[in-house]
């Protein structure tokens, strides 16, 4: 079989063996795997794992090796026409318009709050933790929240906006510890209910609202890993909205996953189909381009390796609590989420993707900005 020989040679370049005995080696259970992977790329690799066509003791290590050796670039001649059409659609159409932007909330975040409670930390923070001086996930997520608040320069009496507020953890922390009032917006109905209950005794409001519909002034704006759902066609508009709603002298803290290099198609086909519909990662240059004329970049902090550790903690929690959800979601869902969490961990470990906290000011901070770590 030509496909099998080709895949074996590709994997050998990454030091991976089929039916080997190391944790990053894979065991192929169905020979249709080879053709599916070559013709469908990352989509075929993920789907064939969901279908049980291959196994691996450590998908995160497997992923790190594949990415580090740039194996996917050697399979381009095999990619089928369906993936090409999907790519062209992403270039022609706005896949993150108001209607399409709701899909990620329905597909991903509306899975159920009980599910996320078992996987995440006690504050329900579904973004990278900050592990610099932390020993466990709860501490690391608290450290990240405090880092965002300090970078935003929060002080008592200020009013802040959290774009993509999730389950309200950052807003609750900011109001309780920094004496601010807050507005949070989300596009997930499940997150909305939880977040509203989470802050019901506080000076905070949670809305089911698209960022494009916000029209009021705030002393500071924060947005933690929502920018990945905005889409390249809307980057400039997003920054214009943030600029319009930020008072003079205010600071905007943006945390986002991103890529160092601009690519023609920044999507991963499998993640796009099964995990984050219509999501795309910004590159460094795309961010600088969309803030030009609107904000001054005061600070750019990369702590992407912390996401590797965060994802491995989420995977451990997911695996340990799976018995509570097995009947509801089934085996294929388990394999999908296992693959998702470990695929992403390996990608951050290989430094293929990063997580950045970027401090943006409207006119430039007088006297300069002091970097906070």
Of residues 82 and 317, which shows the higher confidence score?
317
Tokens of 246: 């930020």
The catalytically annotated residue of 56, 149, 290, 344 is 344
Q: Which residues pair with 160 in a beta bridge?
A: 182, 220
The rounded mean pLDDT for the chain is 90
Where residue 99 falls among pLDDT bands split at 50, 70, 90? low
Domain with CATH 3.40.50.150 in the chain: 100-304+353-361
State residue 261 phi and psi, 5-degree precision. Answer: -115, 135
100-304+353-361 under CATH 3.40.50.300, yes or no = no
β 246-258/218-224 pair status:
parallel
pLDDT mean over 125-136: 97
Annotated catalytic residue 344: yes
180, 160 contact by CB (below 8 A)? yes
Query: Is the per-residue pLDDT at 41 higher than 90?
Result: no
| pTM, two decimal places | 0.90
Give the tens place of pLDDT for each residue, 299-344: 999 999 999 999 999 999 999 999 999 999 999 999 999 999 999 9
Query: Is the per-residue pLDDT at 47 higher than 60?
Result: yes
CA-angle at 106, arms to 253 and 91, nearest 5°: 70
State the Cα–Cα distance between residues 131 and 142, nearest whole angstrom: 10
Query: Is the per-residue pLDDT at 79 higher than 50?
Result: no
């Amino acid at each position: 079989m030509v496909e099998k020989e080709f895949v074996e040679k590709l994997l050998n370049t990454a030091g991976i063996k089929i039916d080997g005995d190391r944790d990053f080696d894979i065991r192929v259970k169905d020979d249709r795997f080879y053709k599916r992977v070559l013709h469908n790329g990352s989509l075929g690799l993920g789907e064939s794992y969901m279908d049980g066509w291959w196994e691996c003791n450590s998908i995160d290590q497997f992923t790190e090796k594949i990415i580090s050796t740039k194996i996917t670039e050697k399979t381009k001649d095999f990619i089928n026409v369906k993936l090409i059409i999907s790519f062209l659609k992403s270039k022609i159409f706005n896949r993150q318009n108001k209607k399409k932007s709701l899909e990620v909330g329905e597909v991903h975040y509306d899975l159920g709050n009980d599910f996320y409670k078992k996987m995440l930390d006690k504050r329900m923070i579904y973004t990278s933790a900050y592990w610099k001086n932390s020993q466990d996930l709860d501490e690391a997520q608290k450290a990240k929240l405090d880092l965002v608040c300090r970078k935003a320069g929060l002080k008592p009496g200020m009013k802040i906006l959290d774009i993509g507020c999730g389950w309200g953890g950052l807003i609750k922390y900011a109001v309780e510890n920094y004496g601010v009032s807050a507005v949070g917006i989300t596009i997930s109905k499940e997150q909305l209910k939880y977040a509203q209950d989470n802050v019901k005794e506080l000076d905070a409001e949670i809305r089911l609202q698209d960022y494009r519909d916000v029209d009021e002034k705030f002393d500071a704006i924060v947005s933690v890993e929502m920018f990945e759902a905005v889409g390249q066609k809307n980057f400039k508009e997003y920054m214009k909205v943030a600029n319009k709603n930020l008072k003079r002298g205010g600071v905007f803290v943006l945390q986002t996953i991103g890529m160092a290099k601009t690519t023609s198609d920044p999507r991963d086909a499998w993640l796009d189909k099964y995990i984050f519909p219509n999501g795309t990662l910004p590159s460094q240059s795309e961010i600088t381009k969309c803030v030009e004329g609107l904000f001054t970049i005061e600070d750019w902090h990369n702590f992407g390796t912390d996401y590797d550790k965060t994802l491995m903690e989420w995977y451990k929690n997911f695996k340990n609590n799976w018995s509570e959800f097995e009947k509801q979601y089934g085996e294929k869902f388990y394999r999908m989420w296992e693959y998702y969490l470990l695929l992403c961990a390996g990608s951050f470990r290989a430094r293929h993707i990063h997580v950045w906290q970027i401090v943006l000011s409207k006119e430039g901070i007088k006297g300069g900005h002091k970097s906070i770590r």
